[in-house]
Amino acid sequence: MSFQNRKQIILKILEERGEAEVKDFAQALEISEITIRRDLQQMATDGLLFRTHGGAMKLSLAQMPFTFANKTAVNAKEKDKICQLAAQQIQEGDIILMDCGSTVFRMCQFIKNKRIKVITNSLPVVYELMNSQVSINLIGGEIDQERQAVHGRIAEEHIARYKVDKAFLGVDGISPENGLSAFGENEASITLAMAKASAKNYFLCDASKLGKDKYLTFAPITLVDVLVTNALEKDILVYREKGISVII
Amino acid sequence: MSFQNRKQIILKILEERGEAEVKDFAQALEISEITIRRDLQQMATDGLLFRTHGGAMKLSLAQMPFTFANKTAVNAKEKDKICQLAAQQIQEGDIILMDCGSTVFRMCQFIKNKRIKVITNSLPVVYELMNSQVSINLIGGEIDQERQAVHGRIAEEHIARYKVDKAFLGVDGISPENGLSAFGENEASITLAMAKASAKNYFLCDASKLGKDKYLTFAPITLVDVLVTNALEKDILVYREKGISVII
DNA sequence: TAATTATTGATTATTTTTGAACAAATTAAT
DNA sequence: ATTAATTTGTTCAAAAATAATCAATAATTA
């Protein structure tokens, strides 16, 4: 078995388990530990994985090329729960839109093995879904290097050409009175464009965003078809009354 | 059995199994291992497969996520020289197209600090130019996971909306008689679309591609405005006679 | 038909890869 | 803080694969 071959299997193992020890690799590949170490060392310098004492980690979240390093730490578990709920709403064969928010990004891990098509403007999402079952359609246009996503008029026109089943979107603030709000104009208009192109709009909002209005309010609450959140029952009653179905 | 014949069978075996050892090929073709090695070497330089120690792999399997041209690339140094020459043709403020070939990818390192705009369908290029001076426009459409690039009708329409100064393109084969050729239909049509959108077309071809015709010939040699190569003077005379300016 | 060229196979030398042994460094535990 | 256990880095040797060289065979050309 060649080095290139092992390289693949090592990456595959890391993709599945996130991290593993030298022993694990050695057993899985039926090869000596010293060789595994050499492989890991080279792959680490090639930037394919992160070397730890006694093993290796997937280059994820912490140091991936495309990443939400600063954001992901906060409420990671809560967000993951929301994402899992959201992912359950997806059927095989669906065509969905995903935006470039950090919450939506965390859905990737739960949809990797579904046979669906994802349309997105988020480079981290693309990176995460690369080499998975998912077929990807990337929205074209100017790249916003800070947000690691595609924005602008061209992008919105691109979105307008599609009509999809479901859109999974994030916002920076949501309130029953003023509707949806965001920190920037770019995010707002992309979110709007996606919502228009989709039959059913799912908004992923952790409790900290509920009842808040941020910099720019850009859409009425009626844009929301389904609200996926981890808030308490009592806090979401207002939304239910407005005809929004809420998943907790 | 001729070389052409073996070539086909070798490719077929790789297509089925993904990878194989020299022994396997030798047995399947009932020929000595040394001959297989010679075949594999030539096919590797032709870009038909990836040579490993002890055997060969399908090209797509050998590509690692977003790093397909790091250190393992064939002819890395030669390609780098070509790329450096090509990069010198770029002025500050230029708007350029870059395609998804491995040669063109290596241009990134030489243009990182230029203030230009790059329009591309290649995800590795995007990743490489992220967090640089360069402003990026990503072409939208369906993602081809094997090539790590955007392809398809939507992508071509996106390209058609732009008009740029220069396009930097790669091909799999180029000959004075039959023009440009590629391994696949997708690459061919994207290359054509890019060439049409550009005022001046630079083609980056190392010597191994000159005078070769590959699977699909898709454009006359007149599409080439400038040929950037590392070939010998005597081999490029034919191109100069056709009115193509050549940079060595 | 003879001469030349290209292809193939065999042999040898070189390089690459792998594994083992031991010293140095790092982590964990007392 | 010190010791014990792991892990890693380094060096070396064996095995495998490759490259280089040369002879033999087949194909081509004059």
Condensed to tens digits (0 to 9), the pLDDT of residues A189-206 reads 999 999 999 999 999 999
Least confident range of A82-86, A158-162, B184-188, B233-237: B233-237
B117-174, pLDDT tens digit by residue?
999 999 989 988 988 999 999 999 999 988 889 999 999 999 999 999 999 999 988 9
User: Which positions 53-92 on chain A have a beta carbon less than 7 angstroms from any atom of strand C?
Assistant: 53
Residues of B within 8 A of A131 (CB-CB) are: 65, 145
Q: Which of A11, A47, A140 sits opposite B138 (nearest CB)?
A: A140
Both tokens of residue A1?
A: 């078995």
Minimum CA–CA partner of A157 in chain B: B158
Q: What is the mean pLDDT of residues A207-217?
A: 92
Provide the pLDDT for residue B131. 86
CA–C1' gap, B25 and C13, in angstroms: 25
Percent of chain B whose pLDDT exceeds 70: 92
| CA A163 / C1′ C16 distance in Å | 55
Under 8 Å CB pairs connecting chains A and B tally to 105
* Residue range B94-124, pLDDT digits in tens: 999 999 988 898 899 899 999 999 999 999 8
A234 pLDDT above the threshold of 90: no
CB distance B54 to B89 below 8 Å: no
Q: ∠ at Cα A56 (A52, A60), nearest 5°?
A: 100
Q: Across the strands, what pairs with A226?
A: A202, A245
> Are B148 and A130 inside 8 Å of each other by CB?
yes
B212 vs B96, more confident: B96
The reported pTM is 0.81
Q: Where are the alpha helices (DSSP H) in A89-232?
A: 102-105, 108-111, 123-129, 153-160, 185-197
Nearest partner of B98 among B39, B16, B164, B10, judged by Cα: B164
Coil, helix or strand for A102? helix
- Cα distance between residue A48 and residue A58, in whole Å: 8
Structure-block tokens of residue A208: 């900290």
Burial grade of B165 (CB within 10 A; 0-12, 13-18, 19 or more): middle
pLDDT in tens, A90-102: 999 999 999 999 8
Which of B98, B119, B126, B135 to probe by mutation at the A interface, max A CB count within 10 Å?
A: B126
- The count of other CB atoms within 10 Å of the CB of residue A121 is 31
Strand C, nucleotides covered by protein (CB < 7 Å): 7-11, 16-21, 26-27
Strands A173-175 and A179-182: antiparallel
* A131 interface with B at CB cutoff 8 Å: yes
> What is the SS3 assignment for B141-152?
EEEECCCCEEEC
Residue with tokens 């995007």: B126
- Smallest Cα–Cα separation from B95: which of B140, B141, B130, B134? B134
Residues B147, B188: contact at Cβ < 8 Å?
Answer: no
Chain A positions in Cβ-Cβ contact with residue B140 (cut-off 8 Å): 137-141, 150, 154-155, 158
Confidence of residue A8 (pLDDT cuts 50, 70, 90): confident
- Cross-chain residue pair B55–A2, CB shorter than 8 Å: yes
Residue A23 scores a pLDDT above 60: yes
- Which of strand D's nucleotides are less than 7 A from any protein C-beta? 6-10, 16-20
- Measured in angstroms, what separates residue B72's CA from nucleotide C4's C1'? 40
Length, in residues, of chain B? 248
At B76, the amino acid letter reads A
Q: How far is CA B56 from CA A46, A86, B52, B77, B116, in A?
A: 21, 43, 5, 22, 39
Residue A64: predicted pLDDT: 52
Mean pLDDT confidence for A127-149: 92
Chain B contact set for A47 (CB, 8 A): 67, 70
Average pLDDT over every residue of B207-213: 81
CA A101, CA A80: separation in Å to the nearest integer?
A: 13
pLDDT in tens, A151-188: 999 999 999 999 999 999 999 999 999 999 999 999 99
Q: How confident is the model at residue A62 (pLDDT cuts 50, 70, 90)?
A: very low
CA at B184, C1' at D19: how many angstroms apart?
33
CA distance readout (Å), B175 to B3, B48, B224, B240, B244: 21, 18, 11, 12, 12
pLDDT in tens, B17-41: 888 999 999 999 999 999 999 999 9
The runs of H, that is alpha helices, within chain A are: 3-17, 22-29, 33-45, 69-72, 76-88, 102-105, 108-111, 123-129, 153-160, 185-197, 233-241
Cβ proximity of A124 and A211 under 8 Å: no
B158/A158 Cβ within 8 A? yes
Residues A154-184: b if buried by 16+ CB within 10 A, e if exposed = bbbbbbeebebbbbbbbbbbbbeebbbbbeb
CB contact under 8 A, B140 and A137: yes
Diameter over CA atoms, chain A? 64
CB B172 within 8 A of CB B47: yes
* B160 strand C contact, CB < 7 Å: no
pLDDT digits (tens, 9 = 90+) for A96-120: 999 999 899 999 989 999 999 999 9
At B124, the amino acid letter reads: P
pLDDT of residue B70: 45
B95 touches chain A (CB under 8 A): no
B41 touches strand C (CB under 7 A): no
Q: Say yes or no: B64 contacts chain A, CB-CB below 8 A.
A: yes
Which nucleotide is nearest, taking the CA of residue B41 and each C1'? D18
Average pLDDT value over all residues in chain B: 88
In 3-state terms chain A splits into helix, strand, coil percentages (rounded to 5) of: 40, 25, 35
Nearest CA in chain A to B20: A1
Exposure pattern of B218-238 as b/e (b: 16+ CB <10 Å)? bbebebbbbbbbbbeeeebee
C-beta of residue B141 within 8 angstroms of C-beta of residue A138: yes
List CB contacts (< 8 A) between A157 and chain B.
none
Instruction: Tell whether the torsion through CA atoms of B157, B159, B164 and B169 is positive or negative.
Output: negative
User: In this structure, is the CB of residue A41 within 7 Å of any atom belonging to strand C?
Assistant: no
Highest mean pLDDT among A75-89, A133-147, B2-16: A133-147
